[in-house]
Structure 1
Amino acid sequence: MTKYKLEYIWLDGYTPVPNLRGKTQIKEFDAFPELEQLPLWGFDGSSTMQAEGSNSDCVLKPVAIFPDAARTNGALVMCEVMMPDGKTPHPSNSRATILDDEGAWFGFEQEYFFYQDGRPLGFPESGYPAPQGPYYTGVGYKNVGAIAREIVEEHLDLCLAAGINHEGINAEVAKGQWEFQIFGKGSKRAADEMWIARYLLQRLTEQYGIDIEYHCKPLGDTDWNGSGMHANFSTAFMRETGGKDYFEALMKAFDENLEDHIAVYGPDNHLRLTGKHETAPWNKFSYGIADRGASIRVPHSFIKNDYKGYLEDRRPNSQGCPYQIASQILKTIALVPTSAEARVSAAA
């Protein structure tokens, strides 16, 4: 039997953006544990904005497990928060009731800033560094500094060792800003992996004395870019059948449900989605071929392949909850019938 360090990870009850929490439990297993072997575990919800002190019990329900390469015999356990009965989802549980479909594929592009001493990494004590331009996919000390690349490379290795489908990294447009990409099949799986990737990044930067700033516009009303979490998405029907009339009906549904999307795409999005810096205005829906300033960017490949493939919703921001983002996208897709006859009937 081997003693395993199980890091139970969950989202707390803070709003509008939950924080990641984690605590370690030691259990013995013959081999790396399967999800079904992991027990429920209680915690003090009064310390996480999830219960009152007079009735503080909450329960963690394991829903996904990943190897933790940073610890000997370590495991990362993503959990849902449940009520004391262990069966009823807690009101803060954003995963339990979302739409899920294994045929729906999601690719999230997580942008963020490294922060140190209250400002983006590489910014001078006062004022700003040289204007944006050389930092995006930049190389060299003057563009990316001495620490950032070391962190993102180590984070990449930790994600790959955990079995997370990490698809890439790059320096972003602003000084001290970076991005990583996570792809998953099914909204819950994709979002689980994104949350674990965020956890690994935040835990890793503890040893560097650096924080991760996820706010979508941390530098306020300036010419410095904000941070998004663009959501690339497709369903089996979009990949295999598609068609121009289906695409147009889908874009109409996204337009008509704009407010529902903005409501869950991350707080303060009006500060980021201004119509500048390759963003669409938050209160107007648009789509365009290879248009980075549209609400939804349509790849050239999608058009060339008879309107089949994936689309990119550029409105979700860096603080957004991937569970809610993926679920809202699926809700809107579900409004559009997959047969031409049904679409005509629905529109009548």
Structure 2
Amino acid sequence: MSLLSDLLNLNLSDTTEKVIAEYIWIGGSGMDLRSKARTLDGPVSNPSELPIWSYDGSNPNLAPGEDGDVILHPQAIFKDPFRKGNNILVMCDGYTPAGEPIPTNKRHEAARKFSHPDVIAEEPWYVIEQEYTLLRRDVQWPMGWPVGGYPHPQGPYYHGIIDEVLGRDVVASHYKACLYAGINISEINGEVMPGQWEFQVGPAMGISAGDELWVARYILERITENAGVVLSFNPKPIQGDRNGAGGRTNYSTKSMRNEGGHEAIRKAIERIGLRCREQICADFFTGHHETADINTFLWGLASGGASIGVRRDTEEAGNGYLEYRRPASKMDPYVVTSFIAETTILWKPWYHLAFEQAWRGIVG
């Protein structure tokens, strides 16, 4: 093993200008990550310097409904915490040979929304709270739980210091690897259910929030693979009176951060409330633990049971951010972040209301 360890830790930058680029993309389920590596002649600092690549997309697990090649477009570069040196991780999105985004390429539409001049002017910031569960590989049971049994009821675990076996080492390694990669990971903590953890990515602006979260997920997948544990983004990995896993998204615009931003926050909440049903596919509404029921939209001050929460420090300052609590742990950050920006900046609610009134008139 020592020889293998030495080879894995080789720093190619000491002996060659060649660089290994690990291309990463989203697979056919919309949640699984795929990757492959290629050799570059030297260091690069911008995705535009990287070659477009491809893979066989005829396998429905890789790209549903596609025949032939899928074209990979490099979109964001991060330092590779595994190979180190000048080696890089490259977040890509996929297209058909005709140039159309494949079904799991949600980045393309998100980038279009984030490139709108009105959105750019508002400088949307995000902090995404990614919750996940670590499972034993042999029995698919949460780390730190008695094998075949249950721990004490929820209460003492949130932000607690408890024996998580390999869990804490995995979390700490992921934290440092993300910082090395250049991901703005801002926080980690143990969650309410034992064996469940959270990391936060941000503040990140616009499309970069999605890029950073997806690459942070990739790094965590690699670390858990090496540690011999299973990573789950299942919103409800354990049934019963146990908290689910969320992907809550904190959001602010320049108008919300400026003096008097409380009014902009209020308007943003109203708009999201009108369109919230469009985000049902990305949510985890049980109504018992983390947020309001699927059929209910609520917002509240420092409320853990609301669809949208506003912190007390934001209320007191009169400006700041809102917390969108509806998304689940397996949400696509490109979809969620662009939905929020479009709804609060670009969407015109009176069009929606006029259509609704007209429709009621038609159907009686």
**TM-score, normalization: structure 2?**
0.83
The answer to whether the 8 Å contact 2:31/2:330 transfers is no
Q: Does 1:173 align with 2:192?
A: yes
Q: State the Cα distance separating 1:246 from its structure 2 match.
A: 4.0
The superposition leaves residues 173-229 of structure 1 with CA deviations (integer Å, 9 ceiling, x where unpaired) of 111000000014333101100000000000111111111110101112x11110001
Q: Does 1:239 align with 2:257?
A: yes
Q: Cα RMSD between the aligned structures?
A: 2.2
Q: Does 1:106 align with 2:118?
A: no
Q: State the Cα distance separating 1:91 from its structure 2 match.
A: 2.9
After TM superposition, list the pairs within 5 Å mapping 1:198-347 onto structure 2.
198-220=217-239, 222-263=240-281, 265-266=282-283, 269=284, 273-306=285-318, 308-334=319-345
The answer to whether the 8 Å contact 2:157/2:192 transfers is yes
The answer to whether the 8 Å contact 1:51/1:58 transfers is no
The superposition leaves residues 79-104 of structure 1 with CA deviations (integer Å, 9 ceiling, x where unpaired) of 0101124x432232100111214500
Q: State the Cα distance separating 1:300 from its structure 2 match.
A: 1.1
C-alpha distance 245-197 of structure 1, shift in aligned 2 (>3 A) = closer
Q: 4+ residue stretches of structure 1 with deviation over 6 A? A: none
Partner AA of 1:157 in structure 2: K
The worse-fitting range, judged by mean Cα deviation, of 97-106 and 44-53 is 44-53
Corresponding residue SS for 1:61 = strand
The answer to whether the 8 Å contact 1:51/1:57 transfers is no
Among 125, 143, 162, the alignment partner of 1:140 is 162
Q: State the Cα distance separating 1:165 from its structure 2 match.
A: 0.2
| Distance in 1 of aligned mates of 2:266 and 2:175 | 38
Q: Give the aligned partner of residue 185 of structure 1.
A: 204
The answer to whether the 8 Å contact 1:260/1:328 transfers is no
Q: Give the aligned partner of residue 80 of structure 1.
A: 93
The answer to whether the 8 Å contact 1:253/1:335 transfers is no
| Distance in 1 of aligned mates of 2:195 and 2:346 | 40
The superposition leaves residues 30-68 of structure 1 with CA deviations (integer Å, 9 ceiling, x where unpaired) of x34432211011101123342668x32111100000110
C-alpha distance 185-72 of structure 1, shift in aligned 2 (>3 A) = closer
Q: State the Cα distance separating 1:243 from its structure 2 match.
A: 4.7
Q: Give the aligned partner of residue 32 of structure 2.
A: 19
| Distance in 1 of aligned mates of 2:34 and 2:347 | 38
Corresponding residue SS for 1:229 = coil
The superposition leaves residues 132-153 of structure 1 with CA deviations (integer Å, 9 ceiling, x where unpaired) of 1221111132xxx221111111
| Distance in 2 of aligned mates of 1:205 and 1:274 | 28
Q: Name the count of aligned residue pairs.
A: 324
- % identity of equivalent residues: 39
| Distance in 2 of aligned mates of 1:179 and 1:185 | 17
**TM-score, normalization: structure 1?**
0.87
Corresponding residue SS for 1:123 = coil
Partner AA of 2:94 in structure 1: V
| Distance in 2 of aligned mates of 1:288 and 1:72 | 45
| Distance in 2 of aligned mates of 1:274 and 1:51 | 30
Among 151, 160, 167, the alignment partner of 1:129 is 151
| Distance in 2 of aligned mates of 1:219 and 1:27 | 44
Question: Which consecutive residues of structure 2, in runs of 5 or more, have no partner in the other structure?
Answer: 1-15, 349-364
| Distance in 2 of aligned mates of 1:297 and 1:52 | 39
| Distance in 2 of aligned mates of 1:115 and 1:90 | 32
| Distance in 2 of aligned mates of 1:106 and 1:244 | 17
Q: Give the aligned partner of residue 340 of structure 1.
A: none
